Structure 1
Amino acid sequence: MAEHDLIEAPNVSAQKNAGTKSAAVTIGGRKLTIEEVVAIAHHRAPVALSADPAWRARIQRGADFLRRHLASGATVYGVNTGYGDACVVDVPMELVEALPLQLTRYHGCGMGQYLDDAQTLAVIAARLNSLAYGFSGVRPVLLERLADLINHRVLPRIPSEGSVGASGDLTPLSYVAAALAGERDVMFEDSLRNVREVWTELGHEPLTLAPKEGLALMNGTAVMTGLACLAFARADHLTRLTARLTALSTVALDGRAAHFDAMLFEVKPHAGQAEAAAWIRDDLSGRDDTPGHRLQDRYSIRCAPHVIGVARDALSWVRRDIENELNSANDNPLIDPDNERVLHGGNFYGGHIAFAMDSLKVAVANLADLMDRQLALLVDVNFNNGLPRNLSGAAPARAAINHGFKAVQISSSAWTAEALKNTLPASVFSRSTEAHNQDKVSMGTIAARDCLRVLELTEQVAAAHTLATVQAARLRLKIDSTTPVPAPLQAFIDSVTAQSPFVDEDRALESDLRALTARIAACDLLDDYRGGPNA
Structure 2
Amino acid sequence: MPEPMSEHAGLDALESAAVAAQVVFDGTPLTIEAVAALARRSATPALSDAPAFRARITRGMAFLDRLLQEDGRVYGVTTGYGDSCETTVPVARAYELPVHLYTFHGCGMGRLLDAGETRAVLAARLASLCQGYSAVSPALLEQLAAFLAHDVLPCIPAEGSVGASGDLTPLSYVAAALCGEREVVHQGRRQPAAEALAAIGREPLRLRPKEALAIMNGTAVMTGLACLAWQRAASLAGLAATLTAAAVAAVDGNPYHYDAALFDAKPHPGQQRAARRIRMLLGDSRAPRHASRLQDRYSLRCAPHVIGVLEDALDWSRRWIETELNSANDNPLVEPDEERVLHGGHFYGGHIAFAMDALKTAVASVADLMDRQLATLVDTRYNNGLPANLSGATGADAALNHGLKAVQIGVSAWTAEALKHTMPATAFSRSTECHNQDKVSMGTIASRDCLRVLELAEQVAAAMLIAVRQGLALRLRTGYALPQPLRPLVDRLQEAIPLIVQDRALEPELRRLVAQVRAAQW
TM-score range, shorter chain: over 0.9
* Equivalent position to 1:231, from 205, 229, 232: 229
Q: Deviation of residue 381 (structure 1)?
A: 0.4
Match of 2:204 in 1: 206
How many angstroms apart in 1 are the aligned matches of 2:63 and 2:218?
Answer: 21
Q: Deviation of residue 306 (structure 1)?
A: 0.5
How many residue pairs were aligned? 511
Whether the 8 Å CA contact 2:30–2:325 is kept in 1: the answer is yes
CA distance 1:290–1:463, shift in 2 (3 Å): same
Q: Deviation of residue 289 (structure 1)?
A: 4.1
* Equivalent position to 1:277, from 261, 275, 278: 275
Report the secondary structure of 2:399's partner residue. helix
Matched letter for residue 230 of structure 1: L
Report the secondary structure of 2:158's partner residue. strand
Report the secondary structure of 1:420's partner residue. helix
Report the secondary structure of 1:401's partner residue. coil
Match of 1:468 in 2: 467
Q: Deviation of residue 13 (structure 1)?
A: 6.4
Matched letter for residue 210 of structure 1: R
How many angstroms apart in 2 are the aligned matches of 1:330 and 1:15?
Answer: 31
Match of 2:305 in 1: 306
Whether the 8 Å CA contact 1:247–1:283 is kept in 2: the answer is yes
Q: Deviation of residue 115 (structure 1)?
A: 0.2
Q: Deviation of residue 141 (structure 1)?
A: 1.2
Q: Deviations over 1:259-306 (max 9, x none)?
A: 100000001111110010001111112574424111111111000000
Match of 1:496 in 2: 493
How many angstroms apart in 1 are the aligned matches of 2:385 and 2:59?
Answer: 73
Q: Deviation of residue 93 (structure 1)?
A: 1.9
Report the secondary structure of 1:264's partner residue. helix
Q: Deviation of residue 470 (structure 1)?
A: 1.1
For residues 124-273 of structure 1, the aligned pairs below 5 Å read 124-273=122-271
How many angstroms apart in 1 are the aligned matches of 2:376 and 2:477?
Answer: 19
Matched letter for residue 517 of structure 2: I
Report the secondary structure of 1:186's partner residue. strand
Whether the 8 Å CA contact 1:14–1:36 is kept in 2: the answer is no
Match of 2:80 in 1: 82
Gaps (5+ residues) in structure 2? 1-10
Q: Deviation of residue 428 (structure 1)?
A: 1.0
* Equivalent position to 1:50, from 43, 48, 51: 48
Whether the 8 Å CA contact 1:15–1:36 is kept in 2: the answer is no
Matched letter for residue 503 of structure 1: I
How many angstroms apart in 2 are the aligned matches of 1:495 and 1:165?
Answer: 43
Whether the 8 Å CA contact 1:101–1:181 is kept in 2: the answer is no
Gaps (5+ residues) in structure 1? 1-11, 526-535
Q: Deviations over 1:176-207 (max 9, x none)?
A: 00000110010000001111111112221100
Whether the 8 Å CA contact 1:499–1:512 is kept in 2: the answer is no
Matched letter for residue 522 of structure 1: A
Q: Deviation of residue 479 (structure 1)?
A: 1.4
Report the secondary structure of 1:325's partner residue. helix
Match of 1:114 in 2: 112
In the alignment, does 2:39 pair up with 1:41? yes
Kindly report the root-mean-square deviation, in angstroms, between the aligned alpha carbons of the 2 structures. Answer: 1.3
- Large movers: runs of 4+ above 3 Å: 12-16, 286-289
Matched letter for residue 425 of structure 2: A
* Equivalent position to 2:505, from 498, 504, 508: 508
> TM-score, normalized by length of structure 1?
0.94
Match of 1:533 in 2: none
> TM-score, normalized by length of structure 2?
0.96
Q: Deviations over 1:348-371 (max 9, x none)?
A: 000000000000010000000100
Whether the 8 Å CA contact 2:61–2:135 is kept in 1: the answer is yes
How many angstroms apart in 1 are the aligned matches of 2:12 and 2:97?
Answer: 43
How many angstroms apart in 1 are the aligned matches of 2:477 and 2:493?
Answer: 18
How many angstroms apart in 2 are the aligned matches of 1:451 and 1:199?
Answer: 33
Report the secondary structure of 2:360's partner residue. helix
Matched letter for residue 476 of structure 2: L
Q: Deviation of residue 29 (structure 1)?
A: 3.2
Whether the 8 Å CA contact 2:19–2:33 is kept in 1: the answer is no
CA distance 1:268–1:172, shift in 2 (3 Å): same
CA distance 1:13–1:424, shift in 2 (3 Å): same
For residues 407-486 of structure 1, the aligned pairs below 5 Å read 407-480=406-479, 482-486=480-484
